[in-house]
A and B are shown apart, each in its own frame.
Chain A
Amino acid sequence: MKEGKNIYQSRRDFVRNAGKILVALPVIALPVVLSKKVSASGNVWQIDPHKCTQCGQCKTNCVLTPSAVKCTHNFRMCGYCDLCGGFLRQGTKTISTAAENQLCPTAAITRTFVEEPYFQYTINEDLCNACGKCVMGCRDFGNGSLYLQINQDLCVNCNECSIARNCPSDAISRIPDKVQYIPKEKI
């Protein structure tokens, strides 16, 4: 009787130990298999401005309200136009800073006079809600110096960016966190 019990116990122990080894193996193997694919620094999400179609998903799909996506202005590409497609609503009768003329729904763009006939347009990121209307205006009628970027200071770096999942043009992807931005440059 006693002997029989011992055999029974040792069989159990064998199954247990075999199971232990079986489940421990993948855990040991995983870092080895992935050793070439591990990066110590990690990734951040960013919009490729060349793929972006200003569909307006950035405004509504970010887990943050308001969105962590902000309009960025590359001043070196800007034409400093008086008749700015990014600032003025299409079909306005007068070129002025009057509210009814502004394209931006939150009045996040400030227009300041530089010298005849140039005006500087500055984005107030606190007001910007990433609707992309100005970006589309600047793309269609101007130099394309306005573009959307994920502000890394605000972004909470979700495991999967919920804007990326909904982005119709696949413009948002993970990039190494050494770079963090995909700036639009003058070619």
Chain B
Amino acid sequence: MLAWHAVLFAQDRFPRPEFESGYVYPEHQMPLQRAPAWEYIDLAVLVCALTLASWLALKKRSRQGLVWLSVFSLAYFGFFREGCVCSVGSVQNVALALFNEGYAIPLTALLFFIIPLVFALAFGRVFCAGVCPLGSIQELVGFRPVKLPKAVESLMISIPFIYLGISVLSSATNSQFLICRYDPFVGIFRLDAPYTMIVFGSLLLVAGIFINRPFCRYLCPYGVLLNIFSRYSHRHLTITPAECINCRLCEDVCPYDAILPSDITRPVQEPGKERKRFLVSILLIPLFVIVGAILFRNLSPVFAGLNSNVRLAREIRAEKEDGVVAVSKAAIAFKEAGKTENELFEDEIKIHERFRMGSLWLGIFLGTSFGLSLVSLSTRTRRTGYVPHRGKCYSCGRCFEYCPVQKNNKATNEKS
């Protein structure tokens, strides 16, 4: 070990030569980053695209316009800007900045996180409709939508919540950025990636021909936030431009299962029964929260494996206690670097503590989400027309052309 250090630090072995021939030292080349101003142009494009998407979805009601906007976003945010600085990934930057000292979040990342949420609160998920490059690439390949069985669908839409929770936990503990690591399409945008990434992305795109937007529906962690925000949106896309006539033409056109049917024909249930179910599901929330908290707190050692220092400490401990020789590159580098094992183990304990705390909150979050989704199952709004589900609707505008009701010509409608 000591000899190795002697080698490492005895690096001034040969004195600098004194040249006699008038030799001039070449420049020490350090080319700077390519125009950081691009990030601010990105922001401007983001705001413009979101405004345009809101106008196209809510006012102009043009599916064609939204498709062209998707093409533009895919070209600009996807292939031109190569998929980096994206709102989906910015969740992690925010989590990292919130829970770690010494990381200054770039202003652009913070704004990329906030602006689409603000738009969701105002106009619904217009970000998904035609601005997000990941959504756009899937929207453009969705030719033959098929519907999944309801049970499968409702099971699958819980995955993004878990994915969001784990990736926030991972970035808040400064471990790794899972969302970026498993981003399926960034390899396609860059036209250069490990083959696993390309295979995953291509598979999703092929699946997306039939099951539209598989990433958005069953994986996207940012979609969870947009889903929640959009539920309370000030205004939202409507299927019909005027009054719904309950013609049922739009009933089956939504590939995302986001059209809530009108229920004027449904018989009125006993109010007492419904109220009882509602109360029971409300009372169940604390139970789910407690179960979730206990379950995930006990799972925290599993999550701690996301952290490379924890993995290294485990490997070193296995070598020390069980005699399993540590062969990973990290272990070799650790032995070279001269950090003591005790320092490493102390570090591990600290990281474990953070993971325990984080997993507890993850369990609480998932328990609450699960409880609230049960509550929403037991509440029924009476709808007199077909309306989009505000959380699930991507504002893609597929349903517009199926609505026979015309705007501004009530008179002609009445005449006919």
Q: How far is the CB of B233 from chain A (nearest CB, A)?
A: 9
Chain A contributes a number of interface residues (CB within 8 A of B) equal to: 72
Task: Collect the chain A residues with CB atoms within 8 Å of residue B265's CB.
Answer: none
Q: Say whether A23 contacts B110, CB under 8 Å.
A: no
A20 to B15, CA, bound (A): 70
Q: How far is the CB of B111 from chain A (nearest CB, A)?
A: 9
Task: Collect the chain A residues with CB atoms within 8 Å of residue B152's CB.
Answer: none
Q: Say whether B108 contacts A143, CB under 8 Å.
A: no
Task: Collect the chain A residues with CB atoms within 8 Å of residue B187's CB.
Answer: 63
Known: A143-B14, A180-B33. Contact between A63 and B190, CB under 8 A?
A: yes
Q: Say whether B21 contacts A165, CB under 8 Å.
A: no
Indicate if A101 sits at the interface (CB-CB under 8 A).
no
Interface string of B318-339 (1 = CB under 8 A from A): 0000000000111111101100
Smallest Cβ-Cβ distance to B40: which chain A residue:
A40
Known: A53-B336, A159-B177, A160-B180. Contact between A34 and B110, CB under 8 A?
A: yes
Tally of A-B Cβ pairs under 8 angstroms: 183
Q: Say whether B118 contacts A81, CB under 8 Å.
A: no
| B329 touches which of A16, A57, A76, A81 (Cβ 8 Å) | A57
Q: Say whether A27 contacts B118, CB under 8 Å.
A: yes
Q: Say whether B28 contacts A115, CB under 8 Å.
A: no
Q: Give chain A interface residues in 134-151, CB to chain B under 8 Å.
A: 139-144, 149, 151
Q: How far is the CB of B50 from chain A (nearest CB, A)?
A: 15
| B30 touches which of A22, A65, A144, A181 (Cβ 8 Å) | A181
Q: How far is the CB of A150 from chain B (nearest CB, A)?
A: 10
Q: Say whether A177 contacts B17, CB under 8 Å.
A: no
Q: How far is the CB of A79 from chain B (nearest CB, A)?
A: 3
| B328 touches which of A73, A168, A170 (Cβ 8 Å) | A168
Indicate if B16 sits at the interface (CB-CB under 8 A).
yes
Indicate if B287 sits at the interface (CB-CB under 8 A).
no
A98 to B99, CA, bound (A): 55
Task: Collect the chain B residues with CB atoms within 8 Å of residue A64's CB.
Answer: 190, 192
Q: Say whether B17 contacts A142, CB under 8 Å.
A: no
Q: Say whether A81 contacts B14, CB under 8 Å.
A: yes
Known: A37-B104, A156-B84. Contact between A24 and B33, CB under 8 A?
A: no
Task: Collect the chain A residues with CB atoms within 8 Å of residue B84's CB.
Answer: 156-159
Smallest Cβ-Cβ distance to A56: which chain B residue:
B329
Q: Say whether B176 contacts A165, CB under 8 Å.
A: yes
Known: A16-B232, A31-B114, A160-B176. Contact between A115 and B121, CB under 8 A?
A: no
A187 to B97, CA, bound (A): 35
Q: How far is the CB of B169 from chain A (nearest CB, A)?
A: 15
Indicate if B281 sits at the interface (CB-CB under 8 A).
no
Task: Collect the chain A residues with CB atoms within 8 Å of residue B7's CB.
Answer: 140
Task: Collect the chain B residues with CB atoms within 8 Å of residue A149's CB.
Answer: 30
Q: Say whether A37 contacts B105, CB under 8 Å.
A: yes
| A115 touches which of B23, B93, B331 (Cβ 8 Å) | B23
Indicate if A75 sits at the interface (CB-CB under 8 A).
yes
Smallest Cβ-Cβ distance to A26: which chain B residue:
B117
Smallest Cβ-Cβ distance to A44: which chain B residue:
B33
Indicate if A7 sits at the interface (CB-CB under 8 A).
no
Q: Give chain A interface residues in 107-165, CB to chain B under 8 Å.
A: 114-115, 118, 120, 122, 125, 139-144, 149, 151-153, 155-160, 162, 165
Task: Collect the chain A residues with CB atoms within 8 Å of residue B94's CB.
Answer: 30, 34
Indicate if B8 sits at the interface (CB-CB under 8 A).
yes
Known: A155-B33, A160-B180, A177-B33. Contact between A55 and B333, CB under 8 A?
A: yes
Indicate if B407 sits at the interface (CB-CB under 8 A).
no
Q: Say whether B26 contacts A122, CB under 8 Å.
A: yes
Q: Say whether A23 contacts B229, CB under 8 Å.
A: yes
Smallest Cβ-Cβ distance to A19: which chain B residue:
B232
Smallest Cβ-Cβ distance to A80: which chain B residue:
B17
Indicate if B266 sits at the interface (CB-CB under 8 A).
no
Q: Say whether A183 contacts B28, CB under 8 Å.
A: yes
Q: How far is the CB of B47 from chain A (nearest CB, A)?
A: 15
Interface string of B364-405 (1 = CB under 8 A from A): 000000000000000001000000000000000000000000
| B107 touches which of A39, A74, A162, A181 (Cβ 8 Å) | A39
Indicate if B308 sits at the interface (CB-CB under 8 A).
yes
What are 25 residue pairs bridging A and B, where the CB atoms are less than 8 Å apart in the complex? Answer: A34-B94, A34-B110, A38-B105, A41-B106, A42-B106, A53-B337, A55-B329, A115-B23, A120-B23, A143-B13, A153-B33, A156-B82, A157-B84, A159-B84, A159-B86, A159-B89, A159-B92, A160-B92, A160-B177, A162-B181, A168-B329, A169-B334, A170-B308, A176-B104, A177-B33
Additional A-B contact list (12), CB under 8 Å, known A20-B232, A157-B33, A159-B90: A20-B121, A27-B114, A39-B104, A55-B333, A57-B329, A65-B192, A79-B17, A120-B23, A143-B11, A143-B14, A153-B31, A168-B334
